Amino acid sequence: MAGLCASTGAVAAPEEIQVYLDDLVGTGNFGMDVHNNYVISGSALPDYPGGEAPLHLYRLTPEFYYGLSDTLELGLYTLTTTPPGRDPTFDGPKLRLKFIAPHDGQSGAFWGANLEIGDTSLRVSPQPWGTEFKTIYGYRWPRWLFAANLNLDWTGGAPFAGPVSLDVDSKLAYQTDAGYQLGLESYNELGEASSLGHLDRNSETLYAVLDTDLSKSVDLDAGIGRGLTPASDRWVLKFILGFHF
């Protein structure tokens, strides 16, 4: 998932709280995910001048995607934020290109990568351009799923500009007899690559999550997260509705 700049203050939850897996919509097909998150408890002060304070901030991000091939998917995010007591604001677009290597979708290992470039407002990022390169790796057993993303983030005045920061996100989930998954997701900002080692200054959040199919074409990922460091939002609620056409 996308990280913001490391800081000694709490940072607002990103527009997308999700560990990337091997899901693709398929050649010639469309899909839409509606990302929602709400900071239940966090800092009442913005992380930087011009930014939005995390406390009670609601972020709604529709994501539209199209299958270019069986291994490649093109997506578009449209970011919005709604601070408490104010109207929603549009915060810019992000484009992504996701690749997943051919593999057995029922068991064993999978891998891929995702490239994302966005031009966003000062309300959600201290610099206008953000670029993220995400590695995707996972493994499926009959009941269990493990996946991890290593994210390299650049936030600057142009794509790939500025210092690179690192995040590591992971997911461990168990498939129940009832058909839904229960699991844990961990989101960990490591800070700038040139000055790693100050983990207590960066956001670390652990989510309890549920994944289920609501119908043949609609799925749900929902969770509640607890911040583990002073730089994290204390409690965050998130859910993603996915629609596949």
Q: Give pLDDT tens digits for 172-208.
A: 999 999 999 999 999 999 988 888 766 678 999 999 9
In a domain, 48, yes or no: yes
First-to-last C-alpha distance (Å) of the chain = 24
Q: What's the pLDDT score for residue 1? A: 37
Range scoring the smallest mean pLDDT among 8-12, 65-69, 114-118, 230-234: 8-12
- Asked if residue 145 lies in contact with residue 166, where contact means CB atoms within 8 angstroms, the answer is no
In a domain, 55, yes or no: yes
In a domain, 13, yes or no: no
Q: What's the pLDDT score for residue 7? A: 39
Q: What CA–CA distance (Å, rounded) separates 188 from 168?
A: 5
Q: What CA–CA distance (Å, rounded) separates 204 from 189?
A: 6
In a domain, 122, yes or no: yes
Q: What's the pLDDT score for residue 3? A: 36
Cα–Cα distances (Å) from 131 to 8, 69, 127, 141, 181, in that order, read: 23, 23, 11, 33, 31
Based on the structure, what is the number of domains in the chain? 1
Q: What CA–CA distance (Å, rounded) separates 100 from 93?
A: 23
Question: In this structure, how many other beta carbons lie within 10 angstroms of the beta carbon of residue 101?
Answer: 12
Express as a percent the part of the chain with pLDDT over 90: 82
Question: In this structure, how many other beta carbons lie within 10 angstroms of the beta carbon of residue 16?
Answer: 21
Q: What CA–CA distance (Å, rounded) separates 227 from 235?
A: 6
Q: What CA–CA distance (Å, rounded) separates 200 from 19?
A: 22
In a domain, 44, yes or no: yes
Q: Can you tell me the mean pLDDT for 119-141?
A: 94
In a domain, 128, yes or no: yes
Tokens of 111: 């891998």
- Which structural domain, as residue segments, surrounds residue 100? 30-244
Say if residue 217's pLDDT is above 60. Answer: yes
Mean pLDDT of the chain: 92
In a domain, 206, yes or no: yes
Q: What's the pLDDT score for residue 96? A: 98
Q: What's the pLDDT score for residue 9? A: 43
| Helix, strand, or coil (residue 189) | strand
Phi, then psi, of 238 in degrees rounded to 5: -140, 145
Q: What's the CATH number where 138 sits?
A: 2.40.160.40
Residue 86's contacts (CB-CB under 8 Å, 6 or more residues apart) are none
Say if residue 106's pLDDT is above 90. Answer: yes
Amino acid at 197: G
Residue found by looking up tokens 């919509």 in the block: 25
Amino acid at 78: T
Say if residue 2's pLDDT is above 80. Answer: no
In a domain, 215, yes or no: yes
Tokens of 24: 């693709």
